[in-house]
Amino acid sequence: MAPPGDAMTIKRKIQTKYKLPTLNWIVLKPNQVKGTIFNELDDDKLHSIIDFNEFEEAFKIGSSLPVSNSEDVDGLIGMGSKRFNKRPELQSLLEHNRLRNIAICRRKLEMPVEEVIRAVNALDLKTFSLENVEILQRMLPTEQEAKAYRDYVSSKKNLELLTEEDRFIHRLSYTERLATKLHVMYYIGNFFDQLHLITPQIQAILSASRSLLASKKLRALLEIVLAFGNYLNSGKRGPAYGFKLQSLDSLMDAKSADRRFCLLHFIVDTINKKMPELSNFNSELHFIEKAATVSLENVMTDVAELSKGMELTRKEFELRKDLKDNKQNTVLKDFLGNAEEKLRRLRIEAKASQDAFVECVEYFGESQTDAHAFFGLFARFTKTYKSVEQENEQRKRLQLAANVQIDAKTSQASRNGNNARRQQEAVITELRSRTQKVQEKKLLPADEVYHGALEDILLGLKSEPYRRADAVRRSQRRRNTSNRLSRNLEDLDTSF
């Protein structure tokens, strides 16, 4: 019978011959398929067209044995894990994810459970490394798990039916003070590293606090800032007697009229001109940048944790005093003899740094804050101050270069003006000279007047156009010279 109009055809489940890989796709629910193109598709008919046997042969994974159709195969067996497939009859009292994590940790340990327990009881960090201690701490059985194993044993069930991970956790649950021993081992293994990490941070806070309290140059600099601030604001808001350190950041926000520089630029320039000895105020501040990266709250917490760990280690040492195995007690005895005095000095330095920091915060009128925020203000201001100082120097160099260039242009313009004036005077002089020569040539001297001179001039005008006296050609000059010579010869003949 055909299904009703709104009904969907129930697709049959396909049983494959081999185990095939899984496609990680997101499927649509039946009610999401209605009204879509998928509601019109029929993939069952493709089985008569496509050779899926060949497909299985190409994509089969694992063994070629048929997949079991038994419905009591749980998810752990169906995962394809070789370890679980080998022992499908084993049971587990652990939650699935917990069982998987325990299996991963066991592979990292690579040690039998009895050897692990022996190393933990002996606090043997040579055999059982610090990394293994961290791994085992993640495997510690919870109260619920320990109770589940006790109930399992009390019901006289066979432990061999449990997985290796369950038997491992079961054995750990019967180890006395396991968590305490692991904590002591972890503490001993990390103590000196923690000590070397915390000590420089404490010293940085102590040195930075004391240097801020003792710096006279910083005090004078803040005084200058207060003076400039009151000069700007006292007429509008009244005079101020102090300011929060975060106000130092706002010195960059107050701009000049031309917006070319800020208040801090002017303060730095004033200090360099009037009080240059204050320009290196940062030389009196020690470990400011280092202290700005330290959280005193975290440091004090770490010191407190070290103290708690030392107390727990001492209690473990007291519990082991009566043991016949002196080797186990020797480890703790040697450690305590070397570490307790170092921790005592660390606590003293931590208390001193905390007191100096509180005094420093109160001295600068700040509320209680953490070290990294407090010292960060000074570190940031010092860096900004030096940057502004460099900008001022750069501006001066540029201004000096611009002045030199302007002077060079002015000098060049002056030289060019003088040259032009001299050239003009030379031209005028030459013109005057030429004019004078022309005027002199307009009339012939009396000794040059001869009989027929006018006729010669008129004939000359006919033969060539008139030219200025200062532009007479050489040929004309030669002709004039020859005429004068001929005239002089005639005069001589006449006189004879």
Q: How many domains in the chain?
A: 3
Pair 36, 111 in one domain: no
- What per-residue confidence (pLDDT) applies to 20? 62
Determine the average pLDDT of the residues in 347-358.
95
Pair 95, 44 in one domain: no
Segments forming the whole domain that contains residue 485: 452-490
Q: For residue 76, is it within any domain?
A: no
- What CA–CA distance (Å, rounded) separates 385 from 389? 6
Q: For residue 342, is it within any domain?
A: no
Residue 329 — very low, low, confident or very high, per pLDDT cuts 50/70/90? Answer: confident
pLDDT digits (tens, 9 = 90+) for 416-442: 777 777 788 887 887 777 777 655 555
| pTM reported for the whole predicted model | 0.60
Residue 308 — very low, low, confident or very high, per pLDDT cuts 50/70/90? Answer: very high
Are the C-beta atoms of residues 371 and 291 closer than 8 Å to each other?
A: yes
- What per-residue confidence (pLDDT) applies to 157? 84
- What per-residue confidence (pLDDT) applies to 414? 72
CATH number for the domain spanning 94: value is: 1.20.58.630
CA dist 344 → 190, 393, 421 (Å): 17, 51, 92
Pair 108, 171 in one domain: yes
- What CA–CA distance (Å, rounded) separates 331 from 189? 12
pLDDT digits (tens, 9 = 90+) for 372-417: 999 999 999 999 999 999 998 998 888 888 888 887 777 777 777 7
Quick one: tokens of 78? 């169906």
Choosing from 124, 154, 175, the residue where a domain stops is 175
494 CA to centre of own chain: 117
Choosing from 117, 146, 175, the residue where a domain stops is 175
Q: For residue 349, is it within any domain?
A: no
Comparing 118-127, 347-356, 454-463, the range with the smallest average pLDDT is 454-463
Mean pLDDT: which of 21-35, 369-383, 470-484 is highest?
A: 369-383
Pair 94, 57 in one domain: no
Q: For residue 156, is it within any domain?
A: yes
pLDDT digits (tens, 9 = 90+) for 127-159: 899 999 999 999 899 999 889 988 888 888 888
Mean pLDDT: which of 43-57, 197-211, 461-475 is highest?
A: 197-211
Pair 60, 96 in one domain: no
- What per-residue confidence (pLDDT) applies to 492? 55
Quick one: tokens of 321? 């005093």
Whether the pLDDT of residue 273 is over 60: the answer is yes
Q: For residue 41, is it within any domain?
A: yes
Choosing from 175, 204, 236, the residue where a domain stops is 175
3-state SS of the chain is: CCCCCCCCCCCCCCCCCCCCCCCCCCCCCHHHHCCCHHHHCCCHHHHHCCCHHHHHHHHCCCCCCCCCCCCCCCHHHHCCCHHHHHCCCCECCCCHHHHHHHHHHHHHHCCCHHHHHHHHHCCCCCCCCHHHHHHHHHCCCCHHHHHHHHHHHHCCCCHHHECHHHHHHHHHHCCCCHHHHHHHHHHHHHHHHHHHHHHHHHHHHHHHHHHHHHCHHHHHHHHHHHHHHHHHHHHHHCCCCCCCHHHHHHHHCCECCCCCCEHHHHHHHHHHHHCHHHCCHHHHCCCHHHHCCCCHHHHHHHHHHHHHHHHHHHHHHHHCCCCCCHHHHHHHHHHHHHHHHHHHHHHHHHHHHHHHHHHHHHHCCCCCCCHHHHHHHHHHHHHHHHHHHHHHHHHHHHHHHHHHHHHHHHHHHHHHHHHHHHHHHHHHHHHHHHHHHHHHHHCCCHHHCCCCHHHHHHHHHHHCCCCCHHHCCHHHHHHHHHHHHHHHHHHHHHHC
**Rama region for 365: left / alpha / beta (φ>0; ψ in -120 to 50; rest):** left
Q: For residue 157, is it within any domain?
A: yes
Polymer length in residues for the chain: 496
- What CA–CA distance (Å, rounded) separates 193 from 234? 54
Pair 97, 60 in one domain: no
Q: For residue 476, is it within any domain?
A: yes
Pair 97, 57 in one domain: no
Pair 57, 98 in one domain: no
**Rama region for 80: left / alpha / beta (φ>0; ψ in -120 to 50; rest):** left
